[in-house]
Amino acid sequence: MSMREVFEKNPDRRYIMFGGKGGLGKTTFSAAAAYWLAKQGYKVLVFSVDPQASLSDIFKRDIFGKGAVEIMQNLYAQEIDADQRIHEYQEEIRQKIRDMYGMEEIPEEIENYIQAAAAEPAMEESAIFDEVVDIVVGGKYDYYIYDLVPLGHALYYLSMASVYDQWIDKITALRTEMEEYAQVAAVMQRDKESEEDQILKELQYIKTRINTSSGILTDKQKTAFFFVVTPEEMIILDTKKAAGLFAKFDVPLSGYIVNRVIPEELRGGNIPEYLRNRMEMQKKYLAEIDQVFGGEVLARIPEFERDITGLPMIERMAEVMFGGVQ
Ligand SMILES: Nc1ncnc2c1ncn2[C@@H]1O[C@H](COP(=O)(O)OP(=O)(O)O)[C@@H](O)[C@H]1O
Ligand SMILES: [Mg+2]
């Protein structure tokens, strides 16, 4: 199978992800896949869930925090600004407090608490997660390409979906229980009852959103997850481990892409020993990759003479990934 065949044979897989360690080529492949799909006539959004996003670098456009920016016909890119989202949360909370208690000013103690909560690292993750859910639930595009964070974080991100889910299940169950008690004891006042109802509704709404988002990640019908690997010992080891972990989270794998392969045609020439050694090393690890990941290897991508930035380079990358861009 080739990359092109995976896409052509699975037209329902509209959520595309490239996983792997930092610096292996996830952002590059995300952009090139987005470019190729857009050229095929699909409306594509490539978006970054990485706080150190580099879609701006690869497209040579400042897109950070600007929503979905049109890069060319059918191709949109978005870098999520988690801080902006956190500020929106904070303002929402302040407004709720003002409304609920009829306050003009937020008491200092509460304001301090709001500030402290926003500094929690989990807050950033949760803000990003929320924005991703918005994007995906929005349903405005044919393809969604997630420019993922490095492996460990991606796993955290995936596991968070199930943690959230369990947490909300528990809270929802508690709320329902409380409501039942309250009704039996008839201690609940009328307006308090409707307030509880509202919270329950809100939680169920969040739950639906999270289920939609995490459901997509683990749905082989809808999702294509590719692992990026390079012909190096440590990377192969890490990838094997990661593939095992992903299987545990029920994330279906579509295949592997081998990046940064030194072009074989260099071999014929009078090349420096340094390069010859590197090629020998790669040869060994390429054989190991074929042995370990076998039929699941979809493409070998050459090491280019320079980094991949700007649309002409992205097009060249799309050509080697998919074999020709119409
Ligand atoms: N095949 C390649 N040839 C040359 N440069 C590459 C290749 N693949 C990736 N790069 C470069 O390597 C760097 C890291 O790639 P990137 O896609 O940002 O990795 P990741 O998103 O996995 O951290 C970038 O500067 C990119 O342009
Ligand atoms: Mg990246």
Atom number in ligand 1 closest to CA 54: 18
Can you give the pLDDT at residue 283?
A: 96
Atom number in ligand 1 closest to CA 148: 21
Is the separation of the CB atoms in 238 and 21 below 8 Å? yes
Instruction: Choose which residue among 232, 262, 308, 311 to substitute to test ligand 1 binding: the one with the highest number of ligand atoms within 8 A of its C-beta.
Output: 308
Q: Phi/psi at 229 (nearest 5 deg)? A: -135, 155
Contacts of 222 (CB under 8 A, 6+ apart): 12, 13, 14, 15, 216
Can you give the pLDDT at residue 161?
A: 54
Residues of the chain with pLDDT under 50: 187-188, 326
Can you give the pLDDT at residue 172?
A: 61
| Full-model pTM | 0.83
Is the separation of the CB atoms in 148 and 26 below 8 Å? yes
User: CA 117 to CA 14: how far, in whole Å?
Assistant: 35
Can you give the pLDDT at residue 292?
A: 93
Can you give the pLDDT at residue 84?
A: 87
Q: Is the CB of 25 under 6 A from ligand 1?
A: yes
Q: What DSSP character marks residue 64?
A: B
CA 50 to chain centre: 8
Q: Whose CA is nearest to atom 24 of ligand 1?
A: 307
CATH of domain 3-80+142-151+227-322: 3.40.50.300
Residue entry with tokens 């869930």: 49
User: CA 130 to CA 135: how far, in whole Å?
Assistant: 9
Q: Is the CB of 259 under 6 A from ligand 1?
A: yes
Among residues 200, 204, 251, 199, the alpha carbon closest in space to that of 223 is found at: 251
Is the separation of the CB atoms in 232 and 278 below 8 Å? no
Residue entry with tokens 């003002």: 98
Q: Whose CA is nearest to atom 2 of ligand 1?
A: 303
Can you give the pLDDT at residue 250?
A: 72
Can you give the pLDDT at residue 20?
A: 86
Atom number in ligand 1 closest to CA 304: 3
Is the separation of the CB atoms in 181 and 102 below 8 Å? no
State the Rg of the chain over Cα: 24
What residue type is 305 in one-letter code? E
Q: Are strands 75-79 and 69-72 parallel, antiparallel or unpaired?
A: antiparallel
Is the separation of the CB atoms in 115 and 17 below 8 Å? no
Can you give the pLDDT at residue 124?
A: 73
Cβ atoms within 10 Å, residue 157: 19
User: CA 173 to CA 176: how far, in whole Å?
Assistant: 5
Q: Whose CA is nearest to atom 15 of ligand 1?
A: 25
User: CA 225 to CA 236: how far, in whole Å?
Assistant: 17
Q: Is the CB of 30 under 6 A from ligand 1?
A: no
Residues comprising the chain, all counted: 326
Taking only the tens place, the pLDDT of each residue in 294-309 is 889 999 999 999 999 9
Instruction: Choose which residue among 17, 28, 35 to substitute to test ligand 1 binding: the one with the highest number of ligand atoms within 8 A of its C-beta.
Output: 28
State the distance from the centre of ligand 1 to the C-alpha of 262, rounded, in angstroms.
14
Q: Is the dihedral of CA 44, 17, 15, 10 positive or negative?
A: positive
Q: Whose CA is nearest to atom 23 of ligand 1?
A: 23
Q: Whose CA is nearest to atom 16 of ligand 1?
A: 25
State the distance from the centre of ligand 1 to the C-alpha of 308, rounded, in angstroms.
7
Atom number in ligand 1 closest to CA 20: 22
Domain boundaries, the chain: 3-80+142-151+227-322
Q: Is the CB of 307 under 6 A from ligand 1?
A: yes
